[in-house]
Structure formats: structure tokens, C-alpha cells
Amino acid sequence: MSNAIARKLDSIQTKSAMRSVDVANLLGARPETVSRWNQGKAFPRPDAQKNLLALEYIVDELSDIYEPKEARLWLFSRQKLLGGNSPADLIQEGKADAVIDVIERLKAGVFV
């Protein structure tokens, strides 16, 4: 039986083709730590959990626009609409709302 964090990690990895190491790096954790979260042996710190939940939401929204490999590429690429920052960097800095705003604009077809 999987725990809630494990289900979220699975959803992120399935919808964005991200590897555990990608998730770990983005959340400022070690891959071994993410593995323990996945096994239910540990739980994320509050800041990591907040970013994990934001990442899951973002990946879910991206799945409406992109295939998993494309979503991963978008997350780690610099984006003009984010001032040249990558979405992954902004999520890591706790600025997921800026990423969510851009995704909403992309989904609505508004780019300016």
C-alpha cells in the first residue's frame, strides 16, 4: 500500500518523465531521501513538502498541454515568459506561483 507522498511522486514521474534524481534536485533533497519518502520511511520537511505539492500541481497542469518528455523539457528549460528563468529553478526557490501563472496563460493561449 502506497502512502500519499509516494502517490504524488509517482504522478510527478509519470506525467513529466522526471526521474527521482530530478525531483530530489528540484526539491533540494538527496535522491536517497526521496527514496525514503517513496517508501514511507520518512516525510518531507515542510518547505520541501510545499514545493512537492506545487510541483505535482504544475506537472498535472502541464499534462494538459504536453506529453511527459515535453513537460520535463519545459520544466528544465529557460522560458521567456519567466524572464529567462527555468520553471524548475523558480519552483526550487519557492516561486511556483509565477510558473502556474505562465501555464495558465499557455493554456488560455495568451502569450503576451
pLDDT tens column, 32-88: 999 999 999 999 999 999 999 999 999 999 999 999 999 999 999 999 999 999 999
Note the pLDDT of residue 97.
97
Q: Compute CA distances 12 → 19, 46, 59, 110, whole Å.
A: 9, 18, 6, 25
- What distance in Å separates the CA atoms of residue 110 and residue 6, rounded to the nearest whole number? 34
Full residue range of the structural domain in which residue 96 is found: 4-108
- What distance in Å separates the CA atoms of residue 80 and residue 83, rounded to the nearest whole number? 5
Provide φ and ψ at 92, rounded to 5°.
-60, -35
Q: Is the whole model's pTM more than 0.85, yes or no?
A: yes
Asked whether the beta carbons of 38 and 30 are under 8 A apart, the reply is no
- pLDDT per residue as tens digits for the range 2-42: 699 999 999 999 999 999 999 999 999 999 999 999 999 99
**pLDDT band with cut points at 50, 70 and 90 for residue 111:** low
Q: Compute CA distances 107 → 30, 32, 61, whole Å.
A: 33, 35, 9
Note the pLDDT of residue 1.
42
Note the pLDDT of residue 110.
67
Does the pLDDT of residue 112 top 80, yes or no? no
**pLDDT band with cut points at 50, 70 and 90 for residue 109:** confident
- The structural domain count of the chain equals 1
